């Protein structure tokens, strides 16, 4: 894997599995999978699309970007994923475009994605 996710800004409205693991505000564990990486990637896309008001807007090889829109204020957050076939993991970043804090929305979204991926993979 040679592609990197953008670094989180110096605000508590972003989580990334490529942030420093000592950064408790921004770091989150990557999404793990067993088996075929291509099947896991397809399962990830289904899990993403199952999150309300979320759509995949770009995909290139082992990378994708989705947008997730909040219900009330219509804020758009960005979700990016990169699959690392060698380590059987999917790196993920979820970040708000505006504001300073996010009241834990991005972290909860990634955990929802983790659970959805597990469901899609039958775990």
100 CB-near residues (< 8 Å, 6+ apart): 11, 12, 13
The architecture in CATH of the region 14-120 reads 2-Layer Sandwich (3.30)
Nearest alpha carbon to residue 90 among 70, 67, 118, 51? 118
Is the pLDDT confidence value at 2 over 80? no
23 to 36, 107, 113: CA distances (angstroms)? 31, 13, 21
Nearest alpha carbon to residue 48 among 17, 79, 14, 5? 79
| Mean pLDDT across the chain | 95
d(CA 97, CA 89): 25
Angle at the Cα of 77 from the Cα atoms of 46 and 80, rounded to 5 degrees = 50
Is the pLDDT confidence value at 122 over 60? yes
pTM across the whole model: 0.94
What are 75's two structure tokens? 């804020």
Residues 43-102: pLDDT tens digits? 999 999 999 999 999 999 999 999 999 888 889 999 999 999 999 999 999 999 998 989
Is the pLDDT confidence value at 1 over 80? no
Residue ranges covered by each domain of the chain: 14-120
**Taking residues 19-41, what's their average pLDDT?**
97
């Amino acid at each position: 894997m040679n592609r990197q996710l953008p670094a989180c800004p110096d605000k508590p409205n972003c989580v990334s599995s490529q942030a420093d693991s000592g950064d408790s505000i921004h770091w989150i564990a990557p999404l793990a999978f067993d088996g075929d990486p291509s099947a896991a990637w397809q399962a990830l896309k289904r899990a993403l699309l199952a999150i309300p008001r979320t759509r995949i807007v770009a995909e290139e090889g082992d990378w994708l970007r989705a947008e997730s829109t909040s219900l009330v204020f219509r804020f758009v957050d960005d979700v990016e994923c990169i699959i690392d076939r060698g380590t059987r993991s999917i790196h993920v970043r979820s970040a708000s475009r505006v504001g300073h804090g996010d009241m834990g929305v991005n972290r909860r979204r990634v955990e929802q994605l983790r659970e959805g991926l597990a469901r899609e993979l039958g775990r």
